[in-house]
Protein backbone atom coordinates (compact mmCIF):
# COMPACT_ATOMS: atom_id res chain seq x y z
CA UNK A 1 0.00 0.00 0.00
CA UNK A 2 2.93 2.32 0.66
CA UNK A 3 4.49 1.44 -2.70
CA UNK A 4 7.43 -0.47 -1.24
CA UNK A 5 8.00 -3.99 -2.67
CA UNK A 6 8.17 -6.68 0.04
CA UNK A 7 9.49 -10.19 -0.56
CA UNK A 8 9.05 -13.29 1.59
CA UNK A 9 11.51 -16.17 1.90
CA UNK A 10 10.30 -19.57 3.22
CA UNK A 11 12.18 -21.90 5.56
CA UNK A 12 13.98 -21.69 8.90
CA UNK A 13 16.19 -18.83 7.75
CA UNK A 14 13.42 -17.11 5.84
CA UNK A 15 11.32 -14.09 6.65
CA UNK A 16 10.19 -10.84 5.15
CA UNK A 17 12.40 -8.11 3.70
CA UNK A 18 12.36 -5.17 1.33
CA UNK A 19 13.08 -6.39 -2.18
CA UNK A 20 16.78 -6.28 -3.00
CA UNK A 21 17.80 -3.33 -5.13
CA UNK A 22 14.88 -1.15 -4.07
CA UNK A 23 15.81 2.41 -3.14
CA UNK A 24 13.71 4.83 -1.17
CA UNK A 25 13.14 7.81 -3.45
CA UNK A 26 11.37 10.07 -0.99
CA UNK A 27 7.85 9.45 -2.24
CA UNK A 28 6.61 8.60 1.28
CA UNK A 29 6.76 12.24 2.34
CA UNK A 30 5.35 15.25 0.56
CA UNK A 31 7.54 17.85 -1.18
CA UNK A 32 6.64 20.34 1.58
CA UNK A 33 7.77 17.88 4.26
CA UNK A 34 10.99 17.23 2.33
CA UNK A 35 11.66 20.97 2.22
CA UNK A 36 11.12 21.18 6.00
CA UNK A 37 13.74 18.45 6.55
CA UNK A 38 16.24 20.34 4.38
CA UNK A 39 15.55 23.59 6.27
CA UNK A 40 16.14 21.90 9.63
CA UNK A 41 19.38 20.26 8.44
CA UNK A 42 20.71 23.52 7.02
CA UNK A 43 19.99 25.24 10.32
CA UNK A 44 21.84 22.52 12.23
CA UNK A 45 24.91 22.61 9.99
CA UNK A 46 25.15 26.38 10.50
CA UNK A 47 25.80 25.71 14.20
CA UNK A 48 27.80 22.48 13.99
CA UNK A 49 30.50 22.30 11.33
CA UNK A 50 31.17 18.70 10.32
CA UNK A 51 31.83 16.97 7.01
CA UNK A 52 29.54 14.08 7.89
CA UNK A 53 26.56 16.39 8.47
CA UNK A 54 27.22 18.15 5.17
CA UNK A 55 27.19 14.73 3.49
CA UNK A 56 23.88 13.85 5.14
CA UNK A 57 22.40 17.13 3.89
CA UNK A 58 23.64 16.37 0.38
CA UNK A 59 22.14 12.86 0.44
CA UNK A 60 18.77 14.05 1.72
CA UNK A 61 18.71 16.84 -0.88
CA UNK A 62 19.27 14.28 -3.64
CA UNK A 63 16.05 12.49 -2.63
CA UNK A 64 13.85 15.47 -3.39
CA UNK A 65 11.36 14.47 -6.03
CA UNK A 66 10.23 18.04 -6.60
CA UNK A 67 12.44 20.74 -5.08
CA UNK A 68 10.43 23.32 -3.18
CA UNK A 69 11.18 27.01 -2.86
CA UNK A 70 12.58 27.58 0.61
CA UNK A 71 10.72 30.24 2.62
CA UNK A 72 12.11 29.61 6.14
CA UNK A 73 15.82 30.07 6.83
CA UNK A 74 17.56 29.07 10.06
CA UNK A 75 21.02 30.41 10.82
CA UNK A 76 22.76 29.68 14.12
CA UNK A 77 26.07 30.92 12.77
CA UNK A 78 26.94 32.84 15.95
CA UNK A 79 27.37 29.50 17.72
CA UNK A 80 29.41 28.04 14.88
CA UNK A 81 31.93 30.80 14.15
CA UNK A 82 34.26 29.95 17.04
CA UNK A 83 36.90 27.48 15.81
CA UNK A 84 37.97 26.61 19.35
CA UNK A 85 34.38 25.75 20.29
CA UNK A 86 33.99 23.62 17.16
CA UNK A 87 37.11 21.68 18.13
CA UNK A 88 35.70 21.10 21.62
CA UNK A 89 32.44 19.83 20.15
CA UNK A 90 34.38 17.45 17.91
CA UNK A 91 36.31 15.99 20.87
CA UNK A 92 33.13 15.67 22.93
CA UNK A 93 31.17 14.04 20.12
CA UNK A 94 33.97 11.52 19.47
CA UNK A 95 34.10 10.67 23.19
CA UNK A 96 30.33 10.12 23.23
CA UNK A 97 30.51 7.81 20.21
CA UNK A 98 33.57 5.90 21.49
CA UNK A 99 32.31 5.84 25.11
CA UNK A 100 35.55 7.19 26.55
CA UNK A 101 36.10 9.70 29.38
CA UNK A 102 37.35 13.26 29.06
CA UNK A 103 39.33 15.39 31.47
CA UNK A 104 38.05 18.97 31.47
CA UNK A 105 38.91 22.23 33.21
CA UNK A 106 35.65 24.02 33.95
CA UNK A 107 34.78 27.50 35.21
CA UNK A 108 31.25 27.85 36.64
CA UNK A 109 29.01 30.92 36.52
CA UNK A 110 30.60 32.26 39.71
CA UNK A 111 34.11 32.07 38.23
CA UNK A 112 35.23 29.07 40.28
CA UNK A 113 37.58 26.78 38.31
CA UNK A 114 37.88 23.02 38.81
CA UNK A 115 39.21 19.94 37.05
CA UNK A 116 36.81 17.10 36.25
CA UNK A 117 37.01 13.60 34.83
CA UNK A 118 33.70 13.16 33.03
CA UNK A 119 31.94 10.60 30.85
CA UNK A 120 30.15 12.59 28.10
CA UNK A 121 26.64 11.43 27.32
CA UNK A 122 25.04 14.02 25.00
CA UNK A 123 25.45 17.45 23.41
CA UNK A 124 22.59 19.93 23.56
CA UNK A 125 22.06 23.31 21.91
CA UNK A 126 19.67 25.56 23.82
CA UNK A 127 19.48 29.15 25.06
CA UNK A 128 21.83 30.16 22.21
CA UNK A 129 24.69 28.01 23.53
CA UNK A 130 26.09 24.46 23.47
CA UNK A 131 25.91 22.29 26.60
CA UNK A 132 27.47 18.95 27.49
CA UNK A 133 25.60 16.38 29.55
CA UNK A 134 28.17 14.22 31.31
CA UNK A 135 28.57 11.87 34.26
CA UNK A 136 31.00 13.46 36.74
CA UNK A 137 33.16 10.70 38.20
CA UNK A 138 34.06 12.89 41.21
CA UNK A 139 30.50 13.84 42.19
CA UNK A 140 29.14 10.49 40.94
CA UNK A 141 26.17 12.18 39.29
CA UNK A 142 25.10 13.68 35.98
CA UNK A 143 25.97 17.33 35.41
CA UNK A 144 25.45 19.98 32.73
CA UNK A 145 28.55 21.83 31.50
CA UNK A 146 28.35 24.91 29.29
CA UNK A 147 30.80 24.29 26.44
CA UNK A 148 32.06 27.88 26.37
CA UNK A 149 33.14 27.54 30.02
CA UNK A 150 35.28 24.48 29.37
CA UNK A 151 38.74 26.07 29.24
CA UNK A 152 40.72 22.89 28.54
CA UNK A 153 39.66 19.50 27.29
CA UNK A 154 41.76 16.35 27.05
CA UNK A 155 40.65 12.93 25.72
CA UNK A 156 41.79 10.07 28.00
CA UNK A 157 40.80 6.97 26.07
CA UNK A 158 39.50 5.50 29.34
CA UNK A 159 36.30 3.45 28.80
CA UNK A 160 33.10 4.48 30.59
CA UNK A 161 32.67 3.09 34.09
CA UNK A 162 29.00 2.36 33.41
CA UNK A 163 26.32 2.25 30.73
CA UNK A 164 24.54 5.59 30.29
CA UNK A 165 21.04 4.97 28.97
CA UNK A 166 18.29 7.28 27.70
CA UNK A 167 20.32 10.50 27.14
CA UNK A 168 17.15 12.45 26.29
CA UNK A 169 15.59 11.65 29.68
CA UNK A 170 18.86 12.24 31.53
CA UNK A 171 19.29 15.58 29.78
CA UNK A 172 15.95 17.05 30.83
CA UNK A 173 16.17 15.60 34.34
CA UNK A 174 19.64 17.08 34.87
CA UNK A 175 18.60 20.49 33.57
CA UNK A 176 15.58 20.42 35.92
CA UNK A 177 17.73 19.41 38.91
CA UNK A 178 20.20 22.19 38.17
CA UNK A 179 17.67 24.99 37.84
CA UNK A 180 19.21 28.26 38.94
CA UNK A 181 17.71 30.95 41.11
CA UNK A 182 15.46 33.32 39.16
CA UNK A 183 14.64 36.95 39.79
CA UNK A 184 11.60 39.06 38.84
CA UNK A 185 12.55 42.67 38.07
CA UNK A 186 10.21 45.64 37.56
CA UNK A 187 11.53 48.42 35.34
CA UNK A 188 10.29 51.95 34.65
CA UNK A 189 11.23 52.58 31.02
CA UNK A 190 11.22 55.65 28.78
CA UNK A 191 8.93 55.42 25.76
CA UNK A 192 11.80 55.98 23.30
CA UNK A 193 13.42 52.62 24.08
CA UNK A 194 10.33 50.40 23.95
CA UNK A 195 11.38 48.54 20.81
CA UNK A 196 14.96 47.96 21.97
CA UNK A 197 14.19 46.85 25.51
CA UNK A 198 11.43 44.49 24.38
CA UNK A 199 13.85 43.01 21.84
CA UNK A 200 16.73 42.43 24.25
CA UNK A 201 15.02 41.73 27.57
CA UNK A 202 11.75 40.13 26.40
CA UNK A 203 9.56 41.32 29.26
CA UNK A 204 5.85 42.00 29.77
CA UNK A 205 4.55 45.56 29.87
CA UNK A 206 2.25 45.80 32.90
CA UNK A 207 1.38 49.51 32.78
CA UNK A 208 1.63 52.36 30.28
CA UNK A 209 1.46 56.05 31.17
CA UNK A 210 0.06 59.01 29.22
CA UNK A 211 3.51 60.20 28.14
CA UNK A 212 4.32 56.75 26.68
CA UNK A 213 6.62 55.63 29.49
CA UNK A 214 5.84 52.16 30.79
CA UNK A 215 6.54 49.58 33.47
CA UNK A 216 7.91 46.26 32.29
CA UNK A 217 8.56 43.07 34.25
CA UNK A 218 11.34 40.67 33.30
CA UNK A 219 12.36 37.30 34.70
CA UNK A 220 16.10 36.63 34.72
CA UNK A 221 18.65 34.16 36.11
CA UNK A 222 20.54 35.79 38.99
CA UNK A 223 23.93 34.32 38.06
CA UNK A 224 23.84 35.41 34.41
CA UNK A 225 25.67 38.57 33.33
CA UNK A 226 24.08 39.62 30.05
CA UNK A 227 20.79 41.00 31.38
CA UNK A 228 22.65 43.07 34.00
CA UNK A 229 25.00 44.45 31.36
CA UNK A 230 21.97 45.25 29.21
CA UNK A 231 20.39 47.25 32.03
CA UNK A 232 23.59 49.26 32.40
CA UNK A 233 23.68 49.91 28.64
CA UNK A 234 20.29 51.67 28.77
CA UNK A 235 21.66 54.18 31.29
CA UNK A 236 19.09 56.62 32.64
CA UNK A 237 16.44 55.41 30.21
CA UNK A 238 15.57 52.59 32.63
CA UNK A 239 14.98 52.70 36.38
CA UNK A 240 14.79 49.54 38.50
CA UNK A 241 11.76 49.69 40.78
CA UNK A 242 12.19 46.32 42.49
CA UNK A 243 14.00 44.45 43.94
CA UNK A 244 15.91 46.82 46.21
CA UNK A 245 18.99 44.61 46.14
CA UNK A 246 19.34 45.05 42.40
CA UNK A 247 19.07 48.83 42.71
CA UNK A 248 21.91 48.79 45.23
CA UNK A 249 23.98 46.59 42.92
CA UNK A 250 23.51 48.99 40.01
CA UNK A 251 24.47 51.98 42.15
CA UNK A 252 27.62 50.22 43.36
CA UNK A 253 28.58 49.25 39.81
CA UNK A 254 28.01 52.83 38.57
CA UNK A 255 30.22 54.18 41.36
CA UNK A 256 32.99 51.73 40.43
CA UNK A 257 32.79 52.81 36.79
CA UNK A 258 32.98 56.50 37.76
CA UNK A 259 35.97 55.89 39.99
CA UNK A 260 37.77 54.16 37.12
CA UNK A 261 37.43 57.20 34.83
CA UNK A 262 37.48 60.04 37.34
- What per-residue confidence (pLDDT) applies to 63? 67
- Strand, coil or helix: what is 229? helix
- What per-residue confidence (pLDDT) applies to 135? 97
**Domains of the chain: residue spans and CATH:** 25-76 (no CATH), 83-177 (2.30.30), 182-256 (3.30.70)
- What per-residue confidence (pLDDT) applies to 213? 96
- What per-residue confidence (pLDDT) applies to 153? 92
- Strand, coil or helix: what is 159? strand
pLDDT digits (tens, 9 = 90+) for 169-209: 999 899 888 766 789 999 999 999 999 999 888 889 999 99
pLDDT digits (tens, 9 = 90+) for 129-141: 889 999 999 899 9
Question: Using CB atoms within 10 A of its CB, is residue 213 exposed (0-12), middle (13-18) or buried (19+)?
Answer: middle
- Per the confidence metrics, is the pTM higher than 0.85? no
- What per-residue confidence (pLDDT) applies to 163? 94
Distance from C-alpha of 21 to C-alpha of 59, rounded to nearest angstrom? 18
Q: Per-residue DSSP letters for 5-20?
A: -EEEE-STT-EEEEPT
Distance from C-alpha of 100 to C-alpha of 133, rounded to nearest angstrom? 14
| Residue ranges in the chain modelled with pLDDT below 50 | none
Amino acid sequence: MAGIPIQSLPGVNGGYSIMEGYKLKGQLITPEEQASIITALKGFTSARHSKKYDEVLEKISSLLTKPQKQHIFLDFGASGENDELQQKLKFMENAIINKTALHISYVNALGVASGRLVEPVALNYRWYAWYLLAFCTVKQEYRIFKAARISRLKPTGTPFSREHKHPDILLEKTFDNGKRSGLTVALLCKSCIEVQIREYLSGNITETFENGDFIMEIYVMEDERMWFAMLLSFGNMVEVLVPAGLKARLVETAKNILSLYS
